[in-house]
Amino acid sequence: MNLYDFTVRDTNGYNVQLNKYKNKVVLVVNTAIKCGLTPQFEGLQKIYDALKDKGFEILDFPCNQFGEQAPGTDEEINRFCTLNYRTSFPRFAKIDVNGANEIPLYKWLKSQAKDLDDTKIEWNFAKFLLDKNGNVFKRYPSTTKPEDLLKDINGLLG
């Protein structure tokens, strides 16, 4: 099993098969728009702009499980990110990353990442970096700044 085996919903409610990201280095992030870490969108977009043409993707999954810091509809969240941080990487429908309603993708991601002891996502902006084969390379805690991932991302891009 790898990233390409999963299907998720986009912000319009349509199913998206993640096999469309084959042969790309992918960063999966659960985000929120009213969080102290929300400014990480700026760093994420900067990395995306610099590396998207080299085979890098960011998959953004808004999550309202932590302090209800991702309120609103998918459309409202998308508008906020686009207007305030000029994000252009793919954003998907709001999800749960822990608990009974967590999506299968996150169950799998957490089972694959042995870097952190806790199997639960700790907060908004937890990050999973996947290699070009759709396998989890590493999990990073929420406090890890996007620019601190550059060495690992560039290493996977080759």
pLDDT at 113: 80
pLDDT at 115: 63
What rounded mean pLDDT belongs to the chain? Answer: 95
Cα–chain center distance at 28: 3
Domain that residue 152 falls in? 3-157
Q: What long-range pairs does 134-142 form, CB within 8 A, spacing at least 24?
A: 134/2, 134/3, 134/4, 134/5, 134/18, 134/21, 134/22, 134/26, 135/2, 135/3, 136/109, 136/112, 138/113, 139/109, 139/110, 139/113, 139/115, 140/115, 141/116, 142/37
pLDDT at 119: 80
pLDDT digits (tens, 9 = 90+) for 78-134: 999 999 999 999 999 999 999 999 999 999 999 998 766 568 899 999 999 999 999
pLDDT at 97: 96
- The conformational region for residue 67 under phi > 0 = left, psi -120 to 50 = alpha, else beta, is left
Tally of domains within the chain: 1
Please state, in angstroms and rounded to a whole number, the distance separating the CA atoms of residues 1 and 114: 16
How many percent of the chain have pLDDT more than 90?
A: 95
Mean pLDDT of 3-18: 96
Domain CATH code at residue 47? 3.40.30.10
β 25-31/56-62 pair status: parallel
How many percent of the chain have pLDDT more than 70?
A: 97
Active site residue 35: yes
pLDDT at 46: 98
Please state, in angstroms and rounded to a whole number, the distance separating the CA atoms of residues 67 and 104: 22
Query: Which one from 33, 35, 51, 129 is the annotated catalytic residue?
Result: 35
